[in-house]
Amino acid sequence: MQGLSERKYAAHAGLSRGAIQKAKAAGRLVLLADGSIDVAASDRKRAAMTDPSKQCGTAKEKLKPVPDAAISAVGQTLREQGMRAPATGGNTTFLQAKTANEVLKTQERRLKLQKMKGELVDKARAKALVFRLAREERDAWINWPARAAALMAAELSAALSEAGQDVTLETSLMQKILETHVRAQLEELSGHVRFDIT
């Protein structure tokens, strides 16, 4: 026998014989003419064709280090779901990262579904709508004294005449007084009202 048998190659690779048989059936091993396994060529081929997250032993050591920001994002996602999470820079396992990824994908799908159902609105659109409504309300109040001044002046003049006082109020003066008070009220409200969508 020129190469190794399935059993010996399984011991060499640190895998089960069943895993070697699956790799052989999938074409991830290089076989010699006598049917035995070419060790060096099979190691290279298997390394090139196997998902690093599913490799054992030395393959894990060849993986690039994961940035702390990514690990903290995994931990935050797991904690939000009430699961145990490692500290930042801690030993996050592949299973924990995969679980966090699945949780995030589920959350993303749920948000897309809620948006499609009309349960969620776009933040920028909501802000623009509130801003437009507030501006329309402010403009309505600013224009109100011009419409109401003549009516109020006439009503006050009539009331004073009934009371025995012969006084005629000027509409322009009434409008000016109303505008001053309305603007003061709007100025005060602008200092108190804050709208923040987070």
Buried b (16+ CB within 10 A) or exposed e, 157-173: beeeeeeeeeeebeeee
Query: How far from chain centre, in Å, is Cα 8?
Result: 50
pLDDT value, residue 65: 61
Buried b (16+ CB within 10 A) or exposed e, 113-146: eeeeeeeeeeeeeeeeeeeeeeeeeeeeeeeebe
pLDDT value, residue 60: 47
Residues paired with residue 37 on neighbouring β-strands, in sequence order: 4, 31
Phi-psi region of 96 (alpha: psi -120 to 50; beta: other; left: phi over 0): alpha
pTM: 0.39
DSSP structural state of residue 54: G
pLDDT in 10s for each residue of the chain, 198 residues: 688 998 999 998 888 999 899 989 888 899 998 989 999 999 888 877 766 566 555 444 555 665 666 667 766 777 777 776 655 555 666 776 777 778 788 888 888 888 888 888 788 888 888 889 988 988 988 888 888 888 888 888 888 888 888 777 788 888 888 899 898 888 888 777 666 666
| Contacts by 60-66, CB closer than 8 A, 24 or more apart | 66/92, 66/97
